[in-house]
Structure 1
């Protein structure tokens, strides 16, 4: 299992080697992602709030391009609940999420 913004980089190679059970890029509401990220970053206080808001807005604008790149590399865009359902289906005896 690989996760993160660069995980899609290995999709083709894993598929070529017969190691790929699934590849997903999370599709979340952009505003919710922005607010979640901003709250986390403000709590961590690593940068000034103004910088965090500016960076957050830039990432909000870039998100469609990031998702398009990930799907272009072979990941399937899906909501978190769908990804959890599909991964659970791969695990023998694991209860399936609702």
Structure 2
């Protein structure tokens, strides 16, 4: 990878990291547009209507950190449509109610498209299978930082936004903090490059 490809954030950027790492902040700041991959979560209604119920955690609740709760094909379709036509239509998803509450139009505004969400690691292989080249047609960068500030920001955000009941958030937060090394390894195995947040500000802010 040459220096231009490594440090220039043109086209499509997949931004990965643990929940609470600051993906949304970076994407909102630099994305033109910001594509929220969490918009492609499956709805809780599918738990009773789909052929297969949504996956469960060891304590019996729906495991919203399992990629099977997410619609990969719809996310890929939206990315390709946005890259090819300059616009796409995405769901408006409520984390609180685990349901789609509407749709919104997203338009290319000069780029880069910054797509982020906890399932971003599922995308490099899917995009590569469509002929897009990592490091050239898209970048995949992982926010590399210590797990403790990530956990604190995640809990404060989820409580403020009333995403789920506090006991659930505490169990989930503890589980995610223990799994963070594994999560990082999963992203890197998927083709993401670890980059400190300060460096990501520089790369994403480079025209």
Length-normalised TM-score, structure 2? 0.38
Q: Which ranges in structure 2 are unaligned for 5 or more consecutive residues? A: 1-11, 13-114
Equivalent residue for 1:11?
124
CA shift at 1:37, angstroms? 1.1
Unaligned runs of 5+ in 1: 92-98
The match for 2:159 among 42, 62, 65 is 42
User: Corresponding residue for 1:62?
Assistant: 179
1:86 aligns with 2:203: yes
1:74 to 186, 191, 195: 191
Shift of 1:4: 1.9
Normalising to structure 1: TM-score of the pair?
0.73
Deviation per CA, 1:38-96: give whole Å up to 9, x if none.
1112223344323221110001111111111111111101111112222333x2xxxxx
Provide runs of 4+ in structure 1 moved above 6 Å. none
- Structure having the higher helix fraction is 1
Q: Which has the higher strand share?
A: 2
Alignment CA distance shift 1:52-1:75 (3 Å): same
